[in-house]
Amino acid sequence: MSGGLLVAGTTSDAGKSVLTAGICRWLHRQGVKVAPYKAQNMSNNSAVVVGPDGRGGEIGRAQAMQAAACGLAPDLRFNPVLLKPGSDLASQVVLLGEAVDTITAGTFRHLRPRLAETAYEALAELRDTYDVVICEGAGSPAEINLRAGDYVNMGLARHANLPTIVVGDIDRGGVFASMFGTVALLDPADQALIAGFVINKFRGDLGLLQPGLDMLRRVTGRPTYGVVPWALDLWLDAEDSLAYGRVLGRPAAPHGTDWLDVAVVRLPRISNATDVEALATEPGVRVRLTIEPAELAAADLVVLPGSKSTVADLAWLRETGLADAVTAHVAAGKPVLGLCGGFQMLGRAIHDQVESRRGSVPGLGLLPIEITFDPRKTVRQSVGTAHGGLPVRGYEIHHGYVSQTDPTLTPLLTGDDGVGEGAVLGTVHGTHWHGAFESDGFRRWFLTEAARLAGRTGFQVAPATSFAAARERSLDLLGDLVEEHLDTDALWHLIETGPPAGLPFIPPGPPPS
């Protein structure tokens, strides 16, 4: 067979990514050869995939997570177009893994036909290879100002004749109006592909919700395929929900007597912030994303994460007082960790004629290094060791490289080529490697060292925490939610047979009573 389904949403962060992953895991459990797909993703959270030519390329991290739900290695075709915002007005375009251009809203129109053609070709190849392809939309299909050039929502559904389900987040409120309005704003040909709905993040008595579900079916002629309950454990690989002040996950009680408090600076153009999720899987480690200098002062460990706009975000750190809070944290003898762009900010100077084109700007001066930006982007998977031979795996995505350094500076990591990577100076640590803390031994060593530097003598890492196992539990939970709370027979029928015939057209405005 060559079945397919499009999971659309009433909004961003409605649950498209996790529902797509859950459906993929459910089908994988049934022995179906299934693959995920998102024609275009706008995200600075990306994963590195080795392409057919052996070179590293980028796809959205959510699609890498969905690939794992399918039991597959990530494939560049799973996310053929990735847009990485560098500012409110411009984004880097990554096409089949390779950065090819930087665009604005005005120039995007000229590139869009090429992007759509590439996206459609990738989907056709996947449908020739796999039994089922579960596609994820972007934003909302009712973004009618963008419909003319759309190739990721209803434009994709029309092109491939995909039955479409619309997921809405009831926790935000107004879910019934959002679902009705999503359908009513579409033209007849698009509406003919909207098969029904899924409600996400429900808390409470399902009986109280039933009258709304019944009325939604009456006014749209479409069923609700299920109501997914709120699940606190679904937080790994989040794409849109890194909110200010949020504590990641549900920290388990400490293995020792002390907690370790980690404050992650929520940069305006934060990139691959999912790095810190591995820290949050450890019992007794509380990880919070913040923009408050006071929270940095109170923390044991401060993390500067990756950035898509390193120089601009460094300026923001200074404007908000966060830069002073970081340097004060180091002056107090407490540990700081910089990851990729955050590592670059820790140096003496950044020379950038590529990303920001601001030339040479001073860094925070906490490491004796200088960073120079190169037009050629480093995109690769990395393997090496740390602290006496602990194995570490990670990946690199950056334009900046260390152009000057103190030769006596201790590297944080050593690549399998024997070359040192990153730096350690007193309490300051930095690396260009993303994903390194998913390596359990390295993560335990680093947290133990951070606790020692912070004076948390009662903190102990748990001996058997596995990040890979935590991710698998999360994917299995998604599969369980789909199996237990969705009408899987009806979903399977959609996948096999396509859009239902005879769906009614809903004109704009309320239907006649």
The catalytic site residues sit at 340, 434
Cα gap 366→347, rounded to integer Å: 6
Q: Are 407 and 416 in contact (CB under 8 A)?
A: no
Exposure class string for 376-399: b at 16+ Cβ within 10 A, else e:
ebbbeebebbbbeebebebbbbbb
Burial class (CB in 10 A: 0-12, 13-18, 19+), 60: buried
| DSSP 8-state code for residue 438 | G
- Give, to the nearest 10 degrees, the angle between helix 206-220 and helix 175-184: 20
DSSP H stretches of helix in 221-276: none
DSSP codes, 30-50: TT--EEEE-SEEE-S-EEEEE
Q: Are 178 and 10 in contact (CB under 8 A)?
A: yes
Exposure class string for 280-289: b at 16+ Cβ within 10 A, else e:
bbbbbbbbbb
Dihedral in degrees, nearest 10, Cα atoms 235, 236, 238, 241: 30
| Local structure of 137: helix, strand or coil | coil
| Local structure of 513: helix, strand or coil | coil
Residue tagged 């909110």 (tokens): 243
Residue tagged 């498209």 (tokens): 16
Q: Are 254 and 284 in contact (CB under 8 A)?
A: yes
Q: Are 401 and 374 in contact (CB under 8 A)?
A: yes
Cα gap 259→158, rounded to integer Å: 53
Nearest to 375 by CA among 108, 99, 104: 99
